[in-house]
Amino acid sequence: MKKIDISSWTEFPPVINQIKADYGEHEIAGIKQRNLILYRGQADYDWRLNSTLERFSSVSWTIESYAQLALRCGPQVESFTDRNWNLPDYSKVQSDIKTKSDIFFPYIPCYDFWVYLRHHGFPSPLLDWTMSPYIAAFFAFAEQNAADKLAIIAYVGLPKGTKAGWEGAPQVSVQGPYVRTHRRHFLQQSWYTVCTKDEGGSQTFACHEDVFGRDDPHQDILIKISIPRSERLNALSHLHEVNINHFTLFQSEEALMKTLAFKEIEMIP
C-alpha cells in the first residue's frame, strides 16, 4: 500500500492528478488502454477496509448463505416498498453460483437486490467505491468525529491490464455499475468490490486487507491519502460549490436537512 500525507485540501487535486498520471492507463502490444481507478472515503484514517457485513457479523459467510439471507428478506422488502424484484428460487441461485463463477469473478446472484440492500443499510459483503475522488472525499469529511485525520483511498485492480490468481487465496473482484437499482447507486457513481476465497468448492467472503497486504505491484494497487480533519470546512465548502453534498448524493428529505444545516450554519463566517 502506498501512503500519501497531505496537510491541506488544496493539495488534494494535484495528488489525484498524479495518481491518474501514474496509474490511469496501461499498454498492451503498443495499444494504450485506460485503467479503472476507484475511490473510497473513510472518516478515520485508521479504519480497516472491512465490509459492513464483516463489521456486523463474525460468522463466516459464503455467497450461497448470504444469497439465502437476502432471499429471506425479499418478501418483507417487497411488501414495504411495493416493488417486485423478481427474485428467483434458492435452487436456481445455487445452480447459477456453481455454473457462472470463476476464480477471477465470482457470480453474485440477484446483484441488483444486493446493491439495493447495501444502499439502505443492510449488512453487505459489497465494499462500496465511487469513480469520483471528490465524492469519496465528501464521504470522508461529511460527519464529525474525533479522528485527527481521515483517508481517501484509490484502488487500481489491473494496473497492467491482467490479473493472476492463487488457488485457495483471497481474491478481490470488481462488480460494475451496470445494474438497475436504487438511484443512489448512480448519483454516487458507485462501483463495488467483493473479496472471496474458495473453501471446499464454496466461495467464502474474505477480508480485503488480506489481498491488499500483499503489496503486489502488478495488481490490486492501493493508495491511501491522509488529510487532517481540521480541513473539513474547507473541503466541504468547496465540494458544496461544485454541487457535491448530502442532498445531491442522496436526494431525500433527511439529506436536504443536512445540506441546509451545513449551508446555513457551518458555512456562515
User: What is the model's pLDDT at position 103?
Assistant: 66
User: What is the model's pLDDT at position 233?
Assistant: 95
User: What is the model's pLDDT at position 101?
Assistant: 78
Q: Which three cell numbers stand for residue 208?
A: 480485503
Q: Which three cell numbers stand for residue 131?
A: 469513480
The total number of residues shown for the chain amounts to: 269
pTM, two decimal places: 0.93
Q: Which of 136, 141, 149, 135 is nearest to 47 (CA)?
A: 149
How far is it, in rounded angstroms, from Cα 43 to Cα 52?
15
- Return the SS3 of 179: coil
Number of domains composing the chain: 1
- Return the SS3 of 230: helix
User: What is the model's pLDDT at position 269?
Assistant: 65
Q: Which amino acid is at 105?
A: F
Per-residue pLDDT of the chain in tens (269 residues, 90 and over written 9): 899 999 999 999 999 999 999 999 998 888 999 999 999 999 999 999 999 999 999 999 999 999 999 999 999 999 998 989 999 999 999 999 888 877 678 899 999 999 999 999 999 999 999 999 999 999 999 988 889 999 999 999 999 888 877 677 899 999 989 988 888 899 999 999 999 998 877 889 999 999 998 888 889 999 999 999 999 999 999 999 999 999 999 999 999 999 999 999 998 76
Provide the residue range defining the domain that includes 162. Answer: 2-266
- Return the SS3 of 258: helix
Q: Where are the alpha helices (DSSP H) in the chain?
A: 12-23, 52-56, 63-81, 90-100, 111-119, 133-141, 184-187, 208-212, 232-241, 246-250, 253-261
How far is it, in rounded angstroms, from Cα 147 to Cα 126?
25
Taken in order 207, 209, 210, 215, the sign of the CA dihedral is positive
